[in-house]
Amino acid sequence: MNKIIQTIGLALMTVLCLVPVAQAADPVTISSLQAYPEAYKMKVVQVTGMVSGYQMHHFIGTSSKLEKCVQNFLVDDGSGMIEASYAALCQMGPVLLKDGDQVTVEGHYLGTLDVKAVRKN
């Protein structure tokens, strides 16, 4: 019986180690990102502002044949402006943006924002 409990415990620990740890997004101003880029590099950040310069691009996967929607835009929070890119499968109903939308975006900071989540405010 003890051997079964040890085996289950080991299996559970292995599974938990494989589950990705959710990263909390730090709310920041764009001016902070621009002033201290190394401090935020590759971190998940949250920026709130207005969309401008919106462009949509569509790509079809060669093997999967799934349509990918890539939205490129600028976010202006009043302290500065940053380029952002939000890619998702079109069939999954991503949040579609337009110039003038007030949004909160979360993503990895790489000098630009690689957006993982968008919420219209």
Q: Quick one: pLDDT at residue 84?
A: 98
Q: Of 15-29, 50-64, 72-86, 92-106, where does mean pLDDT reach its minimum?
A: 15-29
pLDDT in tens, 41-58: 999 999 999 999 999 998
Helix (H, G, I), strand (E, B) or coil at 18: helix
Specify the pTM: 0.76
- Round the average pLDDT of the chain to a whole number and report it: 85
Separation of alpha carbons 117 and 111, rounded Å: 17
Q: What percentage of the chain exceeds 70 in pLDDT?
A: 80
Question: Between these two residues, 11 and 63, which has the higher pLDDT value?
Answer: 63
Query: CA-CA distances (angstroms) from residue 2 to 6, 7, 15, 90, 103?
Result: 6, 9, 20, 50, 54
Question: Domains of the chain, with CATH numbers?
Answer: 23-120 (2.40.50.140)
Residue 18 φ/ψ region, left for φ over 0, alpha for ψ in the -120 to 50 degree band, beta for the rest:
alpha
List alpha helices for the chain, DSSP H.
Answer: 2-18, 30-35, 37-40
Q: From residue 114, give the alpha-carbon distance in Å to each of 16, 46, 74, 98.
A: 27, 11, 12, 18
